[in-house]
């Protein structure tokens, strides 16, 4: 069978691909009906295909292989299709992360579909740190000087590569003087399909950095603490809102200070700080039937 007039590598959602591919197959050969597809899959339920395309059912590996045969996918296309299925059905962010890394190995994918540069940005703590530091001191081409300003220490090569990445992402811009400064004051999370993976890697990198700060940063230069407490569902929701408001206030304060010291006026004592706020359960709830009045 000849290839269909659509490319699987243009898709990040296997269900969207199947919907378009099956429609294209039916237009090419009217005999490729829904009943025919179900027969190839060995299924009798007439509603299974609609449920699967709507996300109410998942694909098994054998079923994914059958679809590869139905759509005449090449071995590499079928492998990509299976990775998309695995990515969609992964239950945890670490599992999704592993699948996402596999997706990045397919050079056939349009760059803007998986955004490998943004993936790299969120994978290393020093890249966001360098972006923030350029609000304090613009980059003038001295990678060794920039690297010396970052803690813990990084190499000049890492600093140079970070700046090049930031420039590709449009997160920094070059002024007429040749200096590089951030294009915007703060980076926002993206809403693309890879956003959870980017955010997972970002938080993981920052948490690992925080662990090292306990030993590497003098006490008077840090504020690291923890508290264990009991909250109801309502109390947890309130605490989340208060943390959200605190983050908003911190961003606002940073923006105000960046405007104040933009031209490097006297008294500029800014440094790049990393703030990690965590609130998570370390117990289950008491079963309702065990509750006492």
How would you label 195-229 residue by residue, b for 16+ Cβ within 10 Å and e otherwise? eebbebbbebbbeebbeeeeeeeeeeeeeeeeeee
**Omega before 4 within 30 of 0, i.e. cis:** no
The pLDDT tens digits for 132-151 are 899 889 999 999 999 999 98
Asked if residue 129 and residue 173 are part of one domain, the reply reads yes
Q: Is the pLDDT of residue 282 over 80?
A: no
Q: Is the pLDDT of residue 191 over 60?
A: no
112 inside domain: no
Asked if residue 198 and residue 69 are part of one domain, the reply reads no
Average pLDDT rounded to a whole number, residues 75-82: 94
212 inside domain: yes
- The DSSP bridge pattern shows strands 180-182 and 172-174 to be antiparallel
Task: Band the pLDDT of 292: cuts 50, 70, 90.
Answer: low
150 inside domain: yes
Asked if residue 251 and residue 188 are part of one domain, the reply reads yes
Asked if residue 196 and residue 65 are part of one domain, the reply reads no
165 inside domain: yes
Asked if residue 230 and residue 171 are part of one domain, the reply reads yes
The pLDDT tens digits for 51-72 are 999 989 999 989 999 999 999 9
CATH of the domain at 35: 1.10.260
Q: Which of 90, 109, 130 is the last residue of a domain?
A: 90
φ/ψ of residue 291, rounded to 5: -60, 145
Q: Whole domain around residue 227: which residue ranges? A: 119-260
Asked if residue 13 and residue 69 are part of one domain, the reply reads yes
- The CA angle 15-123-194, to the nearest 5 degrees, is 15
On average, the pLDDT of the chain sits at 84
Q: Give the residue with greater pLDDT, 287 vs 55.
A: 55
Task: Band the pLDDT of 96: cuts 50, 70, 90.
Answer: confident
Structurally, the chain folds into a number of domains equal to 2
Average pLDDT rounded to a whole number, residues 258-268: 74
């Amino acid at each position: 069978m000849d290839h269909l007039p659509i490319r699987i590598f243009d898709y990040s959602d296997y269900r969207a691909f199947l919907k378009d591919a099956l429609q294209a197959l039916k237009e090419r050969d009217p005999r490729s009906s829904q009943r025919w597809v179900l027969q190839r899959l060995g299924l009798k339920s007439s509603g299974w295909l609609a449920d699967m395309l709507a996300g109410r059912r998942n694909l098994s590996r054998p079923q994914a292989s059958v679809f590869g045969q139905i759509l005449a996918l090449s071995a590499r296309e079928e492998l990509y299709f299976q990775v998309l299925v695995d990515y969609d059905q992964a239950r945890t962010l670490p599992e999704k992360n592993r699948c996402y890394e596999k997706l990045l190995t397919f050079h056939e994918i349009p760059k803007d579909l998986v955004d490998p540069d943004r993936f790299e940005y969120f994978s290393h703590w020093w890249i966001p740190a360098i972006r923030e530091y350029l609000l304090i001191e613009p980059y003038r081409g001295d990678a060794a000087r920039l690297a010396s300003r970052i803690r813990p220490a990084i190499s000049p090569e890492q600093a140079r590569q970070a700046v090049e990445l930031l420039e590709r992402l449009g997160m920094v811009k070059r002024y007429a003087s040749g200096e590089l400064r951030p294009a915007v004051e703060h980076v926002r999370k993206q809403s693309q399909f890879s956003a959870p993976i980017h955010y997972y890697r970002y938080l993981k990198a920052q948490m690992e950095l925080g662990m090292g700060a306990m030993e590497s940063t003098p006490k008077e230069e840090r504020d690291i603490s923890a508290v264990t407490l009991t909250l109801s569902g309502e109390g947890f929701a309130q605490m989340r809102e208060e943390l959200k408001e605190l983050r908003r206030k911190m961003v606002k304060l940073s923006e105000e200070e960046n405007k104040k010291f933009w031209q490097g006026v006297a008294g500029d004592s800014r440094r790049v700080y990393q703030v990690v706020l965590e609130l998570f359960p370390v117990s289950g709830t008491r079963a309702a039937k065990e509750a006492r009045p």
